[in-house]
Every structure is written in C-alpha cells, then in structure tokens.
Homo-oligomer: A and B are copies of this chain.
C-alpha cells in the first residue's frame, strides 16, 4: 500500500559541547555539535516516520533549516513509492532544483539539506520494508542499487554498466560477507582521547580508559603547535605501545608545503594516516602531500563536498583512506556512487570509510551500519585489513 508524506518538520537542534571543548581541534575551536533534524510524517496506519539529519557545528544551523524549507517541495505531498521507484531520478531532481541549485551547486548548505531530506526518505523506505537500512541495501539486486546512484559528472570514471558489472561479480560472496560482518563486526577507532582542548593528564587517562575497553586504534588532533603535537604524540605512543595504530587529524589547518614539513616531524611517532592535512577542495594538493609523506597515508572526506571531488581524489591517487560523510554528501545515493567507484580504483585492502547518520556516532565511533552495508555490497570483506 502506498503511503504519502503529509508533513515535513525541520528542527534546529544544538548541544553546548563547546563548554567542555569536546570535539575541539585546530580549526573547530569551540564546536557546539548540532543538527538540522528532518522528520517526514506520513499517512501510514502505523504512523511511520522518516528521520534524517545534517550535522552542523552550532551557529548557522538555522541556515541549514532554511535550506530544507527551500527544498522540501520535492518531497512533501508525494508518495514514498514515487520517490523510491526511480531513486536516482528523484535524487537528481532535488540536487538539480532549477533555481536552488545556483546556491551550491551540489555543495555546502543546500547539499547538507539535500542529505537530511534524502536520508529521511531512505529511513522511511527501510521502515516500510521492515528492515534496518543496511539490510535494505544489502538485499537489493545490482540493478536496484545502480538505479539509486547519481552518475552525472562521474561517467568518465564510472558508468552504470561498470557499476552493474562490479556488483554482479561480487554477488556470489555477498551472503558470506554479510555473515562475517554480523558475527565479527566492523573495525573502528576512537577519537575520544585526542581532542585538542584536553590537558595531557586528561589525554593520558582517556587513552588508558580506551585501552581498557579494548580499543586498538587511536586518533589525535594536530596542527595548532608543533612542539605541542610532538609532546602529545609521544605521550599517546608511550601509552599504546608500538603495535597499536595512531592516526592524526589536522582538520584542514595547513597549507600544502606546511603539511609536508609538519608530517616529516611527526613521522617519528609512526602515524597510520594524516587526516585533512589541507583544504578539502585541493585534489592536487592532497596528491602532492601523499607522494611526499608515503608510506604515511593521506585521509580525507569529512568535508569533501560531493562525488565529483571524491572521483578526482581517487583518480589522482591523492588519498589512501576515503572518509565519506553521508550527510556532507547528498545522502545515501551519493555515498553509493563513491563506494562503487572506490571499488574500481582500489583493491579493497587498505581502505576505510566513514558514514555519519547520527549525531551520537561522532565521539567514539564513526562507523555505522550504512558503511557496513555498502561494504558488503561492494567489496570482498576478507581482504579488508588495517
């Protein structure tokens, strides 16, 4: 039975995290973790609702709420089926709104709003199917997945035919990969200990607590002061020992050559990756950094605006770790585009991905079921390793 979206509520939700400097780093010095929270109401007898959000940093969240209002006519009053039966076409419709598109295009505030709306439709879609979203995606055929993907502006790297072929090739092992994820879970790291605003004592205590909880991968923030970073990296490396992994995150604070110079100093602490070493818009800059600091990997994506930038990062061998944010990109559809393209460019080993669907996922664990599902769809999990 078809259900209709009868109302769209966009809420401005904020948490005063700046009070304790949780989430603080070299660029985001006083974040108030916030969300533009979208609720789709329906006429379903079970009162099903669809939820989606865009993560923001506090001030300006109201601008994102206004963008949801400017785009919601693409969803309001329509049946769920009319949106999902050709999900890729619906995605193009909302991302290419003939007047609102000018404000991006496909980037920034309107793309965050697109993500919140699109992911709310996905949530509703999964609920009507009686499955979690990851399972809805995993159970799709290759053709169904390809119909969800926006291919515009990426067909020089990935065509619908390419995507179908990759997905079909991996179908034989999909059930086994699903079982493996269900039984052994998905690798993850903790950032809880490494926020830049914390004292050395607090960092040490939190690293020890993380070790006691069984964490093996720890991420620290860097980039405000080199001496400070060296001291904190030494502290964390002492605590976690040589075998566990230490990742670093500069949150875009450096220029290209500065990133290279700084990482040569921090290489002594055996970082697994440097995340966001410079502007998220700088494909050529990331490629230059990657060449200069290998074998330290370059990671980015949290602020990468859309599939066109990810396409280039992969084409230019600019990153070793791909950190997709499902509410920075325009929702699940665009995430699928990047995942499948990643599978074309890379052996599935040595890749990593982030999907953020819930504000509560940020502090300790970036990974959510959605990345697991796309992983199961697109890759051979047995070759996944840290």
Given pairs A57-B100, A63-B100, 9 additional interface contacts (CB within 8 A): A31-B98, A56-B99, A56-B103, A57-B99, A60-B110, A63-B70, A63-B110, A108-B109, A156-B257
Question: In angstroms, how far is the closest chain B Cβ from the Cβ of A61?
Answer: 8
Chain A residues in contact with chain B, CB under 8 A?
Answer: 27-32, 55-60, 62-64, 66-67, 70, 96-112, 152-156, 252, 255-258, 278-285, 288, 303, 305-306, 308-309, 311-312, 315-316
Contact (Cβ within 8 A) A31 B252: no
Contacting residues, chain B, for A63 (C-beta < 8 A):
63, 66-67, 70, 100, 103, 109-110
Contact B284 A316 (CB under 8 A): yes
Complex partner residue of A306 from B64, B154, B257, B281, CB under 8 angstroms: B281
Chain B residues contacting A30 (CB-CB under 8 Å) are 98-99
- A31 (CB) vs chain B CBs: closest residue: B99
Evaluate contact between B110 and A111: CB separation under 8 angstroms.
no
- Which residue of chain B has its CB nearest to the CB of A14? B99
Q: List 23 A-B contacts (CB under 8 A).
A: A31-B98, A56-B99, A57-B100, A57-B101, A58-B99, A59-B100, A60-B67, A60-B70, A60-B99, A62-B70, A63-B66, A63-B103, A103-B112, A104-B109, A105-B252, A106-B279, A107-B281, A153-B252, A154-B255, A281-B308, A282-B312, A283-B284, A285-B312
Contact flag A284-B305 (CB < 8 Å), given A60-B100, A60-B110, A70-B63: no
Q: How far is the CA of A312 from the CA of B279 in the complex (A)?
A: 12
The residue of chain B having its C-beta at the shortest distance from the C-beta of A34 within the complex is: B99
Tell whether, in the assembled complex, residue A102 and residue B308 are in contact, meaning their CB atoms are under 8 Å apart: no
Instruction: Tell me if B96 and A27 are in contact (CB < 8 A).
Output: yes
> Once the chains are docked, how many angstroms separate the CA of A303 from the CA of B104?
8
B255 near A156 with CB under 8 A, answer yes
> What residues on B are CB-neighbors of A100 within 8 Å?
57, 59-60, 63
* Distance, CA A316 to CA B284, complexed state (A): 9
Task: For A109, give its contact among B32, B57, B110, B255 (CB under 8 Å).
Answer: B110
Question: Which residues of B sit under 8 angstroms from A27, Cβ to Cβ?
Answer: 96, 98, 101
Known A99-B30, A308-B279; judge A110-B108 contact (CB<8 A): yes
Q: Determine the residue in chain B with the shortest Cβ distance to A73.
A: B59
Question: Min CB distance, A344 to chain B, in Å?
Answer: 15
Contacts of A28 in B (CB 8 A): 98-99, 101-102
A64 to B284, CA, bound (A): 30
A207 to B283 CA separation, bound complex (whole angstroms): 41
A109 to B57, CA, bound (A): 16
B315 x A105 contact (CB < 8 A): no
A252 proximity list for chain B (CB < 8 A): 105, 153
